[in-house]
Amino acid sequence: MLQAINLSKKFKTKEVVKQVNMEMPAGESIGLIGPNGAGKSTTISMLSSLIIPTSGEVLWDGKSITKDPDPLRKKLGVVPQEIALYPELSARENLAFFGRIYGLKGELLETRITEVLMKIGLSDRQRDIVKTFSGGMKRRLNIGAALLHRPSILIMDEPTVGIDPQSRAYILETVKQFVEEGMSLLYTSHYMEEVELLCDKVYIMDQGEIIAYGTKEELKELVSSNQTIELRVNLVNANFEKALTNQLPTAIVRTEEELLTISMPKNEEPLATIFAIAAENNVVITAAIVKVPSLEDVFLHLTGKALRD
Amino acid sequence: MLFTLILKQLKMLSRNKQPLIILLVMPLVLITILSNALGSIMDGEEEQAIQANLVIIDDSSWDQEKDAIVNFLQQQGLTGPALESLLLQFEKNDPAHILKNNILNSDEIKKYIKVEDKQKADMETLREDMKIDGILRIPANFRLDYIETAYFNKQKLLDLSLYLNQENEIRASIISSILTEWQSEYTKFLALSNAGVSPEQILNNQTSVEKIEQVLEANERKIPASIYYTVGMLVMFALYIPSFLAGFALQEVQWKVYDRILLAGVSPTWYTLSIFITGSLVAFIQQIIMLLFGRFALGIDWININAMIITIVSFSVFIGSLSALLTTLQFRTKTDGIANLFNGLVITVFSFLGGSFFSIRDLSETLGKIGDFTPNGATMSAILSIQKGQDLSVIWPFMTVIYVLVIICILLSIVFFPRRGVAE
């Protein structure tokens, strides 16, 4: 298990990571979300032994990695946000280089390269120079370069930034397979749906601090105990609105042209009542959406800003 | 591990057009242009090889003179074993034999003099051959006359004739110095023979080699424009290697490839060592290409290969250490400002002071001396001294400068390498 205990990092006078505590049990997939400048990359760098913390500890299987990072490094694969590849070398040459510096050689190296190329779907382009690749192909190779030594933990920092939806879907599917195969994953992304898809637990970070963590459901519970129902109606009349308020006393009803928004406690099931009131008042409901809180809403609620701000 | 890093750096260099153009194409083009454009101004005469051609016309031989010598000894009352013993001693001490087989046949002297033996040749015909720098004629009764003079106090005239082709003063001087030394030594022997001193002890090669070196010092080979600018460009363009390697290293940090390298367990020391070795290797290859270009395209006859190898290896080591230092400084500053400053300013100043564009000593002796303290200037002075025909020992002061600079670069690399990691 990889643990961060009271991890802090100061650059000159600015404290960019403050007392962060995290846990990454074996086989689990963890999401780390936060706006730009929240301290995610610095935290990842400390967790992966690239930066020494100002205070606090990173433990791998209970032992500090500050003095001896090698046991962690052998098990760790890191996919940085940047395309950390040599553009002048071919895909295969890149993989061969990264494999060799991990001590792989000969037949074993060749087998691993072929295996990784298959996984990332670049077998047919393996001899091509990387600078001729599309953004999505570079991203896939970027992931592949972290897999050659078969790590048991994979840390991915925004691995789908700036690529087309098709490549993004391919990458997500690939990463999902890694998780299903039992690889531990620490995943950061601006795309909340990616974190929702891949991660069991999520840490939310803002201004260097972990402001919330838990399973996706636990976090959504944090947002509010309310549910929001949006109704699109053909003709809003005052009676309908009044009837709703009377029969659903816990509801807050707002009208905006043809859109009616009803907020009320989550434990109630109001849809049948709403449709009955609509029928009594000759109101035709053309669409009804029960909005479940998303991680985006959680984030907005906790930080007061959207994730991409 | 080290090999993998070096191979990757070599691939990066070879697959980028800019380094290839600057490190190989530009110097070759400039060498060609400058050698041709300035050749007529700089070159007073053709470059001349340092090895002299000597023809020895021996009108006799020990075997041919042996009967006459035996007759003479019998006339002196010598017979039987005493005569035989003396004959053996005289044959062994024959100055012509010692000259041809001991002195001129030694490895040290063969570097400077190529000997051709001819018998009964026409001296006048040989004189017309301008490739021949000297002709020594040993007369018919030389051995007998020598024995009579050396051992029996007869005053015979030892009439050797030496012709020197003055077309090439250095080569003529080399032959003259050797033969004068030989003559002087065997004349001395005439006086010392009674004391039982062997002529081999007197006529030694070391003295002859020293004489040649004195000649070479007094008559240095002229350095033509082709040699000057091949060396000038060679030392100047090698200085661009460190900034390319440091630039690639900075890119590796910016692209986070360096993080991957660290995560794979490669220590910063190994990484820096790989830059050092790559820099040295590329500099060595680059210099060899320049020298081969000089040899085959410009017809330069590079002499004293051993001293040349010592010099270019030393300069290559310096380039390696400078590559490590620039990489370290760029890691520390996280910008390419240092490499740009080095390329834009330092190389220009060093090349000017080192004499890559023209001989700075012609402008100012002080600037010339300062230039000898730049790595390129020291290397250039060492190579030019070698090519002037000077002895290997002439390069040591320059090599001292180079290795002091190597040590400084390595120490600064160690001091400035970011202790807390490049990622921060």
What is the CATH classification number for the domain harbouring B214?
3.40.1710
Counted across chains A and B, CB pairs separated by less than 8 A come out at: 73
Scanning every residue of chain B, which has its alpha carbon at the shortest distance from the alpha carbon of A79? B260
Q: For residue B8, give the nearest of A73, A97, A146 by CB distance.
A: A97
Does residue B181 form part of some domain? Answer: yes
Q: Are residues B92 and B33 in the same domain?
A: no
The segment with the largest mean pLDDT, out of B79-88, B107-116, B168-177, B286-295, is: B286-295
Q: Are residues B191 and B69 in the same domain?
A: yes
N residues, chain B: 424
At residue B3, what are phi and psi to the nearest 5 degrees? -60, -40
Task: Inspect the interface and report whether the beta carbons of B16 and A73 lie closer than 8 Å.
Answer: no
Residue B202, pLDDT > 60, answer no
Nearest CA of chain B to the CA of A10: how many Å? 10
At residue A217, what are phi and psi to the nearest 5 degrees? -65, -45
| Partners of residue A86 in chain B, C-beta under 8 Å | 8, 11-12, 257
Task: Inspect the interface and report whether the beta carbons of A82 and B423 lie closer than 8 Å.
Answer: no
Residue B11: the pLDDT is 93
Residue B46: the pLDDT is 46
Nearest CA of chain A to the CA of B327: how many Å? 18
Cα separation of the two ends of chain A: 32
| Partners of residue B4 in chain A, C-beta under 8 Å | 97, 100-101
Does residue B305 form part of some domain? Answer: yes
What is the β-pairing status of strands A55-60 and A2-11? antiparallel
At residue A79, what are phi and psi to the nearest 5 degrees? -110, 105
- The pLDDT confidence band at residue B169, using thresholds 50, 70 and 90, is confident
Task: Inspect the interface and report whether the beta carbons of B15 and A11 lie closer than 8 Å.
Answer: no
Task: Inspect the interface and report whether the beta carbons of A101 and B261 lie closer than 8 Å.
Answer: yes
Residue B194, pLDDT > 60, answer no
What's chain B's average pLDDT? 84
Tell me how many degrees the CA angle B186-B189-B192 measures, rounded to the nearest 5. 170
- Whether residue A105 lies within 8 A of chain B, CB to CB, comes out as no
Instruction: Give the bridge partners for B225, in sequence order.
Output: none
**B175 CB neighbour count, 10 Å cutoff:** 26
| Partners of residue B274 in chain A, C-beta under 8 Å | none
Nearest CA of chain B to the CA of A84: how many Å? 5
Task: Inspect the interface and report whether the beta carbons of A82 and B255 lie closer than 8 Å.
Answer: yes
- Whether residue A128 lies within 8 A of chain B, CB to CB, comes out as no
- DSSP reduced 3-state for B232: helix
Q: For residue A80, give the nearest of B12, B16, B256 by CB distance.
A: B256
Which has the closest alpha carbon to B356: B371, B342, B343, B370? B371
Indicate the residue among B184, B218, B252 that finishes a domain. B218
Nearest CA of chain B to the CA of A173: how many Å? 24
Q: For residue A50, give the nearest of B5, B266, B423 by CB distance.
A: B423
- The pLDDT confidence band at residue B139, using thresholds 50, 70 and 90, is confident
Nearest CA of chain A to the CA of B334: how many Å? 15
Does residue B124 form part of some domain? Answer: yes
Q: Are residues B146 and B79 in the same domain?
A: yes
| Partners of residue B1 in chain A, C-beta under 8 Å | 100-101, 103
Share of chain A above pLDDT 90, in %: 44
Scanning every residue of chain A, which has its alpha carbon at the shortest distance from the alpha carbon of B271? A101
Query: Taking a C-beta distance cutoff of 8 angstroms, is the pair A127, A91 a contact?
Result: yes
Cα–Cα distance measured from residue B320 to residue B318, given in angstroms and rounded to the nearest whole number: 5
Task: Inspect the interface and report whether the beta carbons of B260 and A146 lie closer than 8 Å.
Answer: yes
Task: Inspect the interface and report whether the beta carbons of A101 and B257 lie closer than 8 Å.
Answer: no
Count Cα atoms within 13 angstroms, Cβ side, for B27: 30
Residue B216, pLDDT > 60, answer no
Q: Are residues B17 and B62 in the same domain?
A: no
Residue B48: the pLDDT is 47
Q: Is B110 left (phi over 0), alpha (psi -120 to 50) or beta?
A: alpha
Which has the closest alpha carbon to B109: B62, B54, B160, B164? B54
Nearest CA of chain A to the CA of B245: how many Å? 14
Counted domains in chain B: 2
Residue B142: the pLDDT is 84
**Which of B1, B2, B256 would best serve as a mutation to test chain A binding (most A beta carbons within 10 A)?**
B256
Average confidence (pLDDT) over B383-407: 91
Residue A221: the pLDDT is 75
Q: Are residues B397 and B343 in the same domain?
A: yes
Task: Inspect the interface and report whether the beta carbons of A86 and B265 lie closer than 8 Å.
Answer: no
Residues 6+ apart with CB under 8 A from B419: none
Average confidence (pLDDT) over B62-90: 84
- DSSP reduced 3-state for A230: strand
Higher pLDDT residue, A75 or B363?
A75
Task: Inspect the interface and report whether the beta carbons of A82 and B265 lie closer than 8 Å.
Answer: no
Residue B424, pLDDT > 70, answer no
Does residue B298 form part of some domain? Answer: yes
Which has the closest alpha carbon to B10: B337, B334, B323, B230? B323
Does residue B422 form part of some domain? Answer: no
Does residue B423 form part of some domain? Answer: no
Indicate the residue among B162, B197, B218 that finishes a domain. B218
Task: Inspect the interface and report whether the beta carbons of B259 and A50 lie closer than 8 Å.
Answer: yes
Q: For residue A80, give the nearest of B8, B259, B264 by CB distance.
A: B259
ipTM of the shown complex = 0.79
Cα–Cα distance measured from residue A81 to residue A267, given in angstroms and rounded to the nearest whole number: 41
- DSSP reduced 3-state for A225: coil
- The pLDDT confidence band at residue A185, using thresholds 50, 70 and 90, is very high
Mean pLDDT is lowest, of A1-10, A17-26, A260-269, B21-30, for A260-269
Q: For residue A100, give the nearest of B4, B257, B424 by CB distance.
A: B4
Scanning every residue of chain A, which has its alpha carbon at the shortest distance from the alpha carbon of B424? A51
| Partners of residue A50 in chain B, C-beta under 8 Å | 259, 262-263, 421, 423
- DSSP reduced 3-state for A24: strand
Mean pLDDT is lowest, of A151-155, B69-73, B171-175, for B171-175
Task: Inspect the interface and report whether the beta carbons of B257 and A86 lie closer than 8 Å.
Answer: yes
| Partners of residue B255 in chain A, C-beta under 8 Å | 82-85
| Partners of residue B5 in chain A, C-beta under 8 Å | 101
Query: Taking a C-beta distance cutoff of 8 angstroms, is the pair A120, A144 a contact?
Result: yes
Task: Inspect the interface and report whether the beta carbons of B256 and A84 lie closer than 8 Å.
Answer: yes
Nearest CA of chain B to the CA of A288: how many Å? 49
Does residue B424 form part of some domain? Answer: no
| Partners of residue A51 in chain B, C-beta under 8 Å | 421, 423-424
The segment with the largest mean pLDDT, out of A215-219, B7-11, B417-421, is: B7-11
Element (H, E) at B165: none
**Residue indicated by tokens 């690529």:** A163
- What would the pLDDT profile of A11-56 be if each residue is shown by its tens digit? 888 899 999 999 999 889 999 988 888 899 899 999 999 999 999 9
- What would the pLDDT profile of B348-389 be if each residue is shown by its tens digit? 999 999 999 888 888 888 898 999 999 999 999 999 999 988
Cα–Cα distance measured from residue A278 to residue A244, given in angstroms and rounded to the nearest whole number: 9
Cα A6 to its chain centre, rounded Å, is: 22
Q: Are residues B263 and B411 in the same domain?
A: yes
Does residue B349 form part of some domain? Answer: yes
State the burial class of residue A294 (Cβ atoms within 10 Å of its Cβ: 0-12, 13-18, 19+). middle
Higher pLDDT residue, B205 or B129?
B129
Task: Inspect the interface and report whether the beta carbons of A98 and B16 lie closer than 8 Å.
Answer: no
- Whether residue A146 lies within 8 A of chain B, CB to CB, comes out as yes
Share of chain B above pLDDT 70, in %: 87
- The pLDDT confidence band at residue B127, using thresholds 50, 70 and 90, is confident
Q: Are residues B125 and B227 in the same domain?
A: no
At residue B157, what are phi and psi to the nearest 5 degrees? -85, 120
Residue A5: the pLDDT is 94
Task: Inspect the interface and report whether the beta carbons of A86 and B8 lie closer than 8 Å.
Answer: yes
Task: Inspect the interface and report whether the beta carbons of B11 and A50 lie closer than 8 Å.
Answer: no
Cα–Cα distance measured from residue A34 to residue A38, given in angstroms and rounded to the nearest whole number: 6
Q: Are residues B168 and B258 in the same domain?
A: no
Scanning every residue of chain A, which has its alpha carbon at the shortest distance from the alpha carbon of B248? A86
- The pLDDT confidence band at residue B209, using thresholds 50, 70 and 90, is low
Q: Are residues B58 and B30 in the same domain?
A: no
Q: Give the burial string for B353-390 (b: 16+ CB within 10 Å, else e).
A: bbbbeeebeeeeeebbeebbebbbbbbbbbbbbbbbbb
Residue B210, pLDDT > 70, answer no
Containing structural domain, residue B41: 2-46+223-416
Residue A225, pLDDT > 80, answer no
**A301 CB neighbour count, 10 Å cutoff:** 15
Scanning every residue of chain B, which has its alpha carbon at the shortest distance from the alpha carbon of A87? B12
Identity of residue B311:
T
Indicate the residue among B197, B218, B239 that finishes a domain. B218
Mean pLDDT is lowest, of A204-208, B32-36, B211-215, B343-347, for B211-215
Q: Are residues B385 and B267 in the same domain?
A: yes
Average confidence (pLDDT) over A273-293: 86
| Partners of residue B424 in chain A, C-beta under 8 Å | 11, 51
Task: Inspect the interface and report whether the beta carbons of A89 and B265 lie closer than 8 Å.
Answer: no
Mean pLDDT is lowest, of B76-85, B183-192, B231-240, for B183-192
Tell me how many degrees the CA angle A295-A300-A303 measures, rounded to the nearest 5. 115
Residues 6+ apart with CB under 8 A from B194: none
| Structural domains of chain A, ranges and CATH numbers in brackets | 2-221 (3.40.50.300), 225-292 (3.30.70.980)
- The pLDDT confidence band at residue B250, using thresholds 50, 70 and 90, is very high
Q: Are residues B127 and B263 in the same domain?
A: no
Q: Are residues B275 and B231 in the same domain?
A: yes
- What would the pLDDT profile of A104-131 be if each residue is shown by its tens digit? 999 999 999 999 999 899 999 999 999 9
